[in-house]
Structure 1
Amino acid sequence: MKQFFKMFFASLLAMIVAGVVMVVIFIAIIAGLVSKTVSSEKEKKVMTASVLKIELDRTMHEQGETNSFSMFSNDEPYNAGLYDVVKSIKKAATDDNIKGIFIKLDGTANGWATLQQLRQALTEFKSSKKFIYAYGENIPQKAYYVASVADSVYLNPVGSMEVKGLVSQLTFFKNALSKLEVQPEIYYAGKFKSATEPFRADKISDANRVQITALQNGIWAEFLNAAAQHAGTDTASIHALATNGSIQFPADALKSKLVDGLLYWDEVEDRMRSKMGLKADEKINYVSLDEYNDKSVVDGKSEDGRIAVLFAEGDIVDGSKEDDYQIASEDFVKTIRSLRKNDKVKAVVMRVNSPGGSALASEVMLRELQLLRQKKPLIVSMGDVAASGGYYISCQADSIFAMPNTITGSIGVFSMLFSIEGLMKNKLGVNFDEVKNAPYADFPTMSRNLTANEAQRMQNGVDTIYHIFKSRVAAGRHISEADVDSIAQGRVWTGKDALAIHLIDAYGNLDRAIQSAAAKAKLSSYKVVTYPEPVDKLEKLFRRVSRANASTALTKQMIENELGEDYQWYKEFKSLRKMNGKTMMAMPTKLSFE
């Protein structure tokens, strides 16, 4: 009876939670429809003497997302992505109502290539002769990289600023697995292929240290150039500030001319008012990127044809999308096919921001991209990362554009299994036994260590896929497999190095890639359309509820909210189970340059 009531009340709770969720979803749908109707009938106007506000602590995904829940909060109905942000800055340069740009400096989770594109857009904005001011109470290095383009950078008098160099820290689990008696079975091709290193070693290998050092040097060089340009000095002097730890206090930053003043926020606003010709008590009209976002997709007045921008952001996975910002082969292939069959679309620009993932999913998508390219031009634009599987799906495009800070390459393959035989037997007292009618009936398995013959089969599979990877790159980049092998081996490159070794064709942001696509398709005027449809927060909730019951979906959301930035670790550990025994083309986890 006790068990019955336990089950009854658990089921009742789940039904109540599900009911509440469905009511919220229904209301959100109605709110979304009303919001769209209102926004379509009345376009929000920007007030005169406004300032476009850019907050660096917001994460800029490649594509924006709609928010059907905005009616219940102060949020905007559309959250601008990087594509929207760049367009908005470009539009602001010619908008008489926008008098300048203010950059709020703070910690940022955005990648170096994203920040480089943002900085490039701001540099072009300066030709309008409008002001750019930047201010922060604390200014991290990545934020200062963007801020250095400003006319004036201000720091709080008791704030802090970083100029200290870059660090990339990796976490190793080999000894922890050993204590748990979990045996990792690891197979890889490419001496630089370091994705499995945290599970097979207890420190950074010599080869991995070489490539991380090269990546750091490339990104650091870009930072030094930006900082030196603002400070009116040379890169050696900025580098000396970092190596000597010279920037401890705000006064040090001012003395080194990295900032233009030590001011409080009200004093910064006074300077902006003076620049705009406002009175001391007049309010400054700040316009956020989400508010200002220009969702117009038209470039040119006539419609000779359309250029489709296909966003590919996130891990590459098999089947259908299960999480936000994934490139799922089944869903992605449907979109590629629809673009191939759409006669109005004359060219496709694929915007790739992915560390890779499933080798099979990468091959399935590359095949569809090959078929698309037989009918119309295919141009690739790379974001922060387009490596391993991300490079695989890019390598056979007509042209590839990337930023100097883009992380790309990583032409290598690996596969992993984790044997839990020792953990279960020696730690938990659990044994496995089985009956099979063929030697490989249970292969691959986590319940025991692999035999030497099984291990060789795993390595053979990895080597075969690695050879296919190199052959795809050789065919797409028109170089020999021997030359590909010399720059492959799983090594990761910056966009700057990738240009020198012919992994990309030129530097350029998404706009540059669109221009290339137009030229390739011989279009003098065109409309730009984006695929897939922007992600909606309501869609995210639907996806989570559809995969599990309502209580499970809400539990997952609570875990995500509680862990914050550390939620990424939770996701990565979950992904280990999904990649168990699969052949992967993926970057090392959590490789960052802070």
Structure 2
Amino acid sequence: MIMRNRLALLVTACASSALVSVSSVAAPPERASQAVPDPGRSLAGGDDASAIAVNPANLAFLPAPEFRWMWVRPGSSSPIPAAGHSFSLGLPLWALSTGLRLDLLDPPDAAPAPFDAPYRWVRWGLALRASDSFSIGTTLGWGSSGALALDGHFSVTTGLTLRPLPHLSISAVARDWNEPQNRLGQAIERSYDVGVAIRPLGRRMLELGAEATYFERSQEVSPRFTMGVDVPRVGRLRGEIALRDLTGPARPGIAAMAGLEVNVSGLQVLGGGVFGDAYTRGGSGFYVGAALRAYREPGVLATRRVAKVRIDATPGARAHTRLLQKLWRLADAGEVDGVALVVRSEPASSTAHAEELGDALRLLRSRGKKVICHLEDAGGRSLHVCSQADAIAMNPAGGLRFAGLSTRYFYFGDLLRKLGVQADFVRIGAHKLAAEQLALPRGTPIAAEDHQQLVDRLSDVFAHDVGGGRRIPKKELSRRISRGPFVAREAKEAGLIDLLAYDDELDKVVEEVMGARVSVVDDSPPKNAPERWGSEPKVAMVYVDGDMVDGESQNIPLVGVRLSGSYTVARALKKAREDRSVRAVVLRVETGGGSSLAADVILREVILTARAKPLVVSMGSSAASGGYYVSVGGGTIYANRATVTGSIGIYYGKVDVSGLLEKLGIKAEGYRSSPRADAESFFRAYTDEEREILGVKVKQFYDTFIGRVAEGRKLKPEQVDAVGRGQVWTGAQALERGLVDKLGGLREALAEARELGGLREDAQVLALPEEDEGLLGLALKLAGVSAGAAAQGLGPVAAMPPALLDIARSLSPFLVFEPSRPLARIEVVEEASMGGRVTVPAEP
């Protein structure tokens, strides 16, 4: 950091010295392509729509669409012709940005001929953002006028901007490089601009610029200096000084502008003075302007409001984290007095996710915000989350469809037997239950005990959070819940909600809770303008969500199942490791495992990444079996109390469909070069010898699993084995057994990662791998299939009965794993709260 600061100061000093030395040549010529001035905008630092004329390369850094108007009037005695109105429209399009600008120039009476007649310029800019630190742009301009000397011009201007450091920007512009000609055949002189801008504090609050324009034929130079200073809760002070006639017989002329910008959300108004003897021979002029922008800069606090956040579909893994980030942002928003959650579907897909959302609501309240929930037809997840709010309102015609937590497991043994299909699996430990779902007609006594213990643990978390939020003792809460499900009136009598109100009465409810009249608006704030140049330091969040498979990630849109591919996740970890702007990594694990090979590929990349940068693990709904395996290669492991984790173990096997084929009149005959050449075939059963050998392989894979965990957790192999063999633990149990380090959600994991990486508390989060729905998912979305779910991150889900959808989701993971692959995964469990369903771990 010290070296960077010294480099910035050295570059700035050298540039300033060069500008001063070359500025002693002569007065710059006037030119017909001069635009209406944009006061205080520097060549290297101006990132708004004015860049179309100032430096087209900077148009690439425009944060969001903007329309800008400027009127400059230096006074009738000014000899400088650049006066009038300008209208600029900028539009960023991912890596490309474009914009249009119209300059209506009305020169003062004292402007020299031939610049004393009105003229117009239309400019079209196009810029490419090659990276966060480099851009290139070009503006095409067309000049027209009733005066022949100012008519018929076609100009090309090209600029480059380099921002190697957060506090340093360097730009160069070739202006009118095609030497445009007017109707008389006279050409505009080609010129070159060079400039630097620095932000000594590293952020936009103070910016200094120095630049010069060099005219090629006349070899004349014009220096210019700019400054911008943020004024807290107002906007920004801007000023500039340009020197002219430095070598003339009289003292040098000064052309200066200074003024104030006032920012109110996406609106900017500005005005100031135009003065100096080079601008006006007597008195001073003025400028005024305004801008409408889809982004905002620091300024006047917007009208205090209550932000309305609507949840229309249960969020998947990524949509859940986006919802958390939105609530955290609202907690820090000074203009927000409260948050109204309009919940129209279960807000969380699991008890663990409900924990994290409840924490976000408590954070809002700790920052002085009021939180109100409005429910309609709600379930247990809605009650879990909203119990942390100040008040819960419900539609009088709605209800709370909840009487306690439950889980559901599907067993296909009898179905397969009737079809003539034989499932043959070898596993480590009686607690490794995943294989039982295909092999048995029902769960074993051990499975029943394990499953009931899991429900009891999840219920404890639910009772703790809801009882604490609603101020109802645990036993009393259990008694009341057991009387469910409830219509709205019964839920209110049971103390589970506070108010009955229709949707149109939400504003009234908010005012009652807030104790005053407030404005309730949808949460859609403008984007904040970046505070730093270049690649802003950030934390990468790498998702491992869905069943882990070998190869690339996939979606199964018809059932809303996501498969997490080893190559895709490994590539994302490598990208985070090699990206210099990424200072820390959070591994967000939302999987019950899958292919043991996929888990090992991902674990290797996790280990390499943790060696290069701080890496923190955040366990979501499920981080079990292979999901736990990939978690042990990093640093601190955070788990929610209700995270399903553990399940350290392996199983291996296949299904034999030869019986089914015989029922269909199909006979499969195979030929082999050795007795076990077709051992993995679907068309015959294992022999006793093969099953014995398979058991040895499974033990070897299990020992590898134990060794990886022991190494990562600094435990002895026998300690890991004691809590392994397929046993499933909640996050709270895992902490007691040394399998995780801390209880906490994504907020705590991000906070530690940012601290370890030396980042600000609000440092940007880079989500990896990038989402890709695939062609089928896109086609279904375009067809309107479950558009609401897709918008919330669930992915398209076919319109089929819920019971069939649940069964399809339970079967889908078994259809994607090859029989020759050992599996490290937890059984598929359907966790229900009557108001909503979630498949764990195969969550969309």
TM-score in terms of structure 1 length? 0.80
C-alpha distance in structure 1 between counterparts of 2:507 and 2:591, whole Å:
39
1:540 aligns with 2:793: no
Match of 1:286 in 2: 521
1:461-519 deviations in Å (ceiling 9; x for gaps): 22211111111111111111111111111111111111111111001222322332344
Q: Please state whether the residue corresponding to 2:612 is helix, strand or coil.
A: coil
1:360 shift after superposition: 0.4
- Where does residue 242 of structure 2 map in the other structure? none
Q: Could you say which structure has the higher strand fraction?
A: 2
- Helix, strand or coil: the match of 1:257? coil
Q: Which AA in structure 2 matches 1:350? A: L
Aligned to 2:426: 187
1:167 to 406, 411, 415: 406
User: Cα–Cα, structure 1 residues 512 and 94, in superposed 2: closer, same or farther, change >3 Å?
Assistant: closer
Q: CA deviation at 1:328?
A: 1.1
Pair 1:319–1:295, CA change in 2 (3 A): farther
**C-alpha root-mean-square deviation of aligned residues, in Å?**
3.5
**Pairwise CA distance, 1:236:** 0.7
Greater radius of gyration (CA): 2
What is the CA–CA distance in structure 2 between the aligned matches of 1:38 and 1:53, rounded to whole Å?
33
Answer yes or no: is the 8 Å Cα contact 2:603–2:629 preserved in 1: yes
How many angstroms does 1:295 deviate by? 8.4
Q: How many residues were matched structurally?
A: 531
Per-residue deviation, 1:533: 5.3
Q: Partner letter of residue 213 of structure 1?
A: Q
Q: What stretches of structure 2 of length at least 5 have no aligned partner? A: 1-90, 100-265, 267-291, 557-561, 788-795, 834-844
Structure 2 match to 1:105: 343
Structure (1 or 2) with the greater helix fraction: 1
Note the 1:130-169 alignment, pairs <5 A: 130-169=369-408
SS at 1:395's partner residue?
Answer: helix
* 1:366 paired residue among 603, 610, 633: 603
Q: For 1:314 and 1:512, locate their aligned partners in 2 and report how far apart those are by CA, in whole Å.
A: 23
TM-superposed deviation, 1:526: 8.6
Q: How far apart in 2 are the matches of 1:504 and 1:136?
A: 35
1:69-468 to structure 2, matched below 5 A, reads: 81-108=319-346, 110-243=349-482, 245=483, 248-274=486-512, 285-288=520-523, 291-292=524-525, 306-323=538-555, 325-425=562-662, 427-468=663-704
Q: Which moved more, 1:485-494 or 1:157-166?
A: 157-166
Which structure is richer in relative contact order (CA contacts within 8 A, separation 6 or more)?
1
Distance 2:486 2:776 in 1: 47
**Candidates 313, 335, 340, aligned match of 1:58:** 313
Deviates further, 317-326 or 437-446: 317-326
**Alpha carbons 1:132, 1:152 under 8 Å: kept:** yes
For 1:382 and 1:593, how far apart are their aligned partners in 2?
20
The amino acid across from 1:316 in the alignment is M
Q: In the superposition, relative to structure 1, how do residues 471 and 588 fare at CA in structure 2: closer, same or farther (>3 Å)?
A: same
Classify 1:164/1:330 alpha carbon distance in 2 versus 1 (closer, same or farther; 3 Å): same
Q: Which amino acid aligns with 2:704?
A: I
Q: Distance in 1 between matches of 2:373 and 2:832?
A: 23
CA deviation after TM superposition for structure 1 residue 311, in Å: 2.1
How far residue 374 of structure 1 moved from its aligned partner, in angstroms, is 2.5
Q: CA deviation at 1:253?
A: 2.4
Q: Secondary structure at the match of 2:831?
A: coil
Q: What TM-score do the two structures reach when normalised by structure 2?
A: 0.58
Picking from 484, 508, 532, the partner of 2:720 is 484
Instruction: Extract unaligned runs of 5+ from structure 1.
Output: 1-30, 64-80
In structure 1, how many angstroms separate the alpha carbons of the residues matched to 2:479 and 2:95?
Answer: 54
Which amino acid counterpart does residue 225 of structure 1 have in structure 2?
Answer: H
Distance 1:264 1:190 in 2: 54
Alignment CA distance shift 1:572-1:42 (3 Å)? farther
Deviation at 1:302, TM superposition (A): 11
Is the Cα–Cα contact under 8 Å of residues 420 and 448 in structure 1 kept in the other structure?
Answer: yes
Separation in structure 2 between the aligned mates of residue 543 and residue 588 of structure 1, nearest angstrom: 27
- After superposition, the Cα gap between the structure-2 partners of 1:589 and 1:44, relative to the gap in structure 1 and judged at 3 Å, is same
Give the aligned partner of residue 530 of structure 1: 766
Instruction: Return closer, same or farther for 1:322/1:253 CA change in 2, 3 Å cut-off.
Output: closer
Q: Out of 529, 536, 561, which is 2:798 matched to?
A: 561
Query: CA–CA distance in 2 between the matches of 1:526 and 1:120?
Result: 17
Change (3 A) 1:218 1:205: same
CA distance in 2, matches of 1:331, 1:352: 14
The percentage of counterpart residues that share the same residue type is: 24
**1:570, 1:498 → 2: CA distance?**
31
CA deviations over 1:557-586 (Å, ceiling 9, x no partner): 999422375546435534423324221111
Return the alpha-carbon distance in structure 1 between the equivalents of residues 311 and 462 of structure 2.
16
